[in-house]
Amino acid sequence: MADALSITASSVDPGLLTLPWSTPLGEWPSNAIVFLPKGISRHLVRFSSLSGRVVAVKETTEEMARREYDMLGNLARLDAPCVERVAVIAGRTDASGRPLPAALVTAHLRFSLPYRALFTQILRPHTATRLVDALAVLLVRLHNVGFFWGDVSLSNTLFRRDAGAFAAYLVDAETGELHETGLTRGQREHDLDVARTNIAGEIMDLEAGGRLEGGVDALAIADGIVSSYRSLWGALTDKETFATSESWRITERVQRLNDLGFDIGEMSIEAAADGTRVSIQPKVVDAGHHQRRLLRLTGLDVEENQARRLLNDLDEYRARRKGADDEEMVAHEWLTRVFEPVVRAIPWDLRSKLEPAEVFHQVLEHRWYMSQAQARSVPLAEVLTSYIDDVLRHRRDEAMLMGPLTGTMTLPIPTASGSIRTLGSPDADEGEDEDDDATVDWRDLV
């Protein structure tokens, strides 16, 4: 087997050789498996540990594995949200020399979850809407770089929390095609129709299993991706005409796209022959406007909505620092005096609950609610104590959520307050941690 085994990877991890490739994936021993929730797939998928990280292994044909490996590499170069490729394993045989399917290995996206793992027993309407909106943004971004998906669905997507919303990542690129000249309207509409059909089926499946909150319309949820997609696509690509005296509308269009999280790399401007009208149309639009600004100022690489929220806090901090004109200097001060002390204050045993940027966002949210309830500006140190004890400690770990999707994840457990919560609920309170609080020095907080 060793002579026949073929590994294709941009950077080969020696640990790949230690995985049991001579055993069919469905028969891998438990010591080679990491139990993480996964979406519905037409192929057998298992998670395994590789050199200190978790990878997903999917059995498929060698041709399809290599095709998807290449596609994920192309999407990564285009900065499209997708999982990271690791390797293609071909030439597998069992102990008797019989051939086994090839395997595609991809990196597990930390702090991401398949849509079914974002709830346990009941899918609430607002959660479903946020998931569909995130998928619409992903589809727009993929279409914008010329990627035809062919099998758009919630099951083929991973979701990460993004400051009250979700960020979506493509998982399965098996059916995808990349068109350098862009997609036709028919191709985009086909993807949109497939998305609507698949989402409706996925939601109806939840409904049939009694996992959909009463009164929720599965078709209305599915229709949401169509309206969300068309609204965003129109904002990015529609041609706009106005009088020459309204040239300020060019700046307004740019600002509108920035607010949506996009930058314009190139714009087409046409003036009428008589000089009375001007038409503009964005030609090159890149996602990640707020991400790039935050990365430039602080070095923090986070999701778009998280970046927007952190920049708002940074801008407010700068406004309080009257006379501080140097944006980079103030950003460094905010990073070291506000953001980093909050992150350091989180006890070590709780740091796999959420990403640091998401924790910071939730602390700001918690501060707002506490201040409203108490009709005063609550100090950040007090907010942090309350957030850690009353919110974060009861969440499940999302860096790599362990275990199956049902059974142990849906057992009711008591909380510190004596009430009953369900392990694995989507938006708060997943399991009490009984470890003692870490000692925190609050003096660095402002």
**366-386 pLDDT, tens digit each:** 999 999 999 998 988 899 999
Is 90 exceeded by the pLDDT of residue 58? Answer: yes
For residues 129-148, average pLDDT: 95
| 431 conformational bin, left if phi > 0, alpha if psi -120 to 50, beta if neither | left
Percent of the chain clearing pLDDT 90 (strictly above): 53
Question: Tell me, what's the pLDDT at 413?
Answer: 30
Is 50 exceeded by the pLDDT of residue 414? Answer: no
Sign of the CA dihedral with 262 first, then 39, 429, and 131 last: positive
Backbone angles phi, psi at 175, to 5 degrees: -95, 0
Is 60 exceeded by the pLDDT of residue 417? Answer: no
Question: Tell me, what's the pLDDT at 147?
Answer: 97
Helices 185-208, 218-237: inter-axial angle, 10-degree rounding: 150
Alpha-carbon distance 398 to 415, whole Å?
Answer: 19
Question: Tell me, what's the pLDDT at 439?
Answer: 33
Question: From the CB of residue 360, how many other CB atoms can be counted at a distance below 10 Å?
Answer: 24
Backbone angles phi, psi at 293, to 5 degrees: -65, -45
Alpha-carbon distance 68 to 104, whole Å?
Answer: 8
Q: How many residues are present in the chain?
A: 446
Is 60 exceeded by the pLDDT of residue 401? Answer: no
* 147 contacts: CB under 8 Å, gap ≥ 6: 75, 78, 80, 176, 177, 178, 179, 183
DSSP letters, 270-317, are EE-TTSSEEEEEEEEEEE-HHHHHHHHHH-----HHHHHHHHHHHHHH
Question: From the CB of residue 126, how many other CB atoms can be counted at a distance below 10 Å?
Answer: 11
Question: Tell me, what's the pLDDT at 321?
Answer: 80
Is 50 exceeded by the pLDDT of residue 404? Answer: no
Alpha-carbon distance 1 to 48, whole Å?
Answer: 21
For residues 131-152, average pLDDT: 95
**Contact predicate 207/164, CB 8 Å:** no
Task: Pull the structure tokens for residue 352.
Answer: 């796999």
Helix (H), strand (E) at residue 31: none
More confident residue, 431 or 40: 40
DSSP letters, 85-113, are EEEEEES-B-TTS-B--EEEEEE--TTEE
DSSP symbol at 22: T
Question: Tell me, what's the pLDDT at 10?
Answer: 83
SS3 content of the chain, % helix, strand, coil (to 5): 45, 20, 35
Percent of the chain clearing pLDDT 70 (strictly above): 85
Q: Which of 235, 214, 247 is nearest to 285 (CA)?
A: 235
Question: Tell me, what's the pLDDT at 322?
Answer: 73
Mean pLDDT (the chain, rounded): 84
Alpha-carbon distance 254 to 250, whole Å?
Answer: 6
**204-245 pLDDT, tens digit each:** 888 887 777 776 788 999 999 999 999 999 999 999 998 888
Is 50 exceeded by the pLDDT of residue 435? Answer: no
Residue 415 pLDDT level (bands cut at 50, 70, 90): very low
Pairing of the two strands 277-287 and 262-271: antiparallel
More confident residue, 307 or 397: 307
Question: Tell me, what's the pLDDT at 323?
Answer: 63
Domains and CATH numbers, the chain: 6-107 (3.30.200), 112-237 (1.10.510.10), 240-287 (no CATH), 345-444 (no CATH)
